[in-house]
Amino acid sequence: MITCMCKDIICVTNRALCREDFLTRIERLAKAHPAAILLREKDLPETEYAELAGKVLCICKKCRALCILHNYTSVARELHHPALHLPLSVLRTLPETERINFQILGASCHSVADAKEAESLGCTYITAGHIFDTDCKKGLPGRGLEFLREVCASVSIPVYAIGGISPENLISVRAAGATGACIMSSAMTCEDAGSYLALF
């Protein structure tokens, strides 16, 4: 389970959306102390991701914020970092001998079956989505709160909703059984990270 959190919001990064220097944005988010900062950056090849991850981890350590690395298990190993989030397809290929090395292990889930499988593979939390309509998934309707309710009821680990999350709809996300939620676009573009996260 994710620990040492003062909030239940995971900030997911996307450099392409960021309106200022990316590392400056990371520091501002880290100082606001969300549940975690998930360094997603799916477009980066492994070597460039590893270089960026090293810088982000330094910032998060300084600010006492949790950073979760994404996708590259080898980068997490090389950096001796115990928190990793994986697509379910990658998680399936990770041997149990490696999975147990991560104190925090998450996976992206899009069905009840995905959620159950992720839990069986040793995940300590999952993300479930996308819940609401969002510009990041234009043309794809959100799966909705009933979907989230079913996912939360199917597993015993924390579930973080993702997709179209706002301060206005977070109460319904919590009511559906989610531990918290993930935000990406708003985390990258909000004027003041601390003030914005306080709204949740």
Residues 6+ apart with CB under 8 A from 74: 46
3-class DSSP state of 160: strand
The verdict on pTM exceeding 0.85 is yes
pLDDT of residue 3: 39
pLDDT of residue 137: 66
Alpha-helical regions (H) of the chain: 22-31, 46-63, 73-78, 88-91, 96-99, 112-120, 144-154, 170-175, 185-189, 193-198
| pLDDT classification of 111: cutoffs 50, 70, 90 | very high
**pLDDT(139) > 80:** no
Distances (CA, A) of 82 to 34, 93, 147, 191: 18, 18, 30, 31
Residues forming a β-bridge with 68: 38
Give residue 68's Cα distance to chain centre.
7
pLDDT by residue (tens digit) across 146-159? Answer: 999 999 999 999 99
pLDDT of residue 2: 40
Running DSSP on this structure, what letter comes out for residue 135?
Answer: G
Residues forming a β-bridge with 84: 69, 105
pLDDT by residue (tens digit) across 73-92? Answer: 999 999 999 999 999 999 99
pLDDT of residue 133: 81
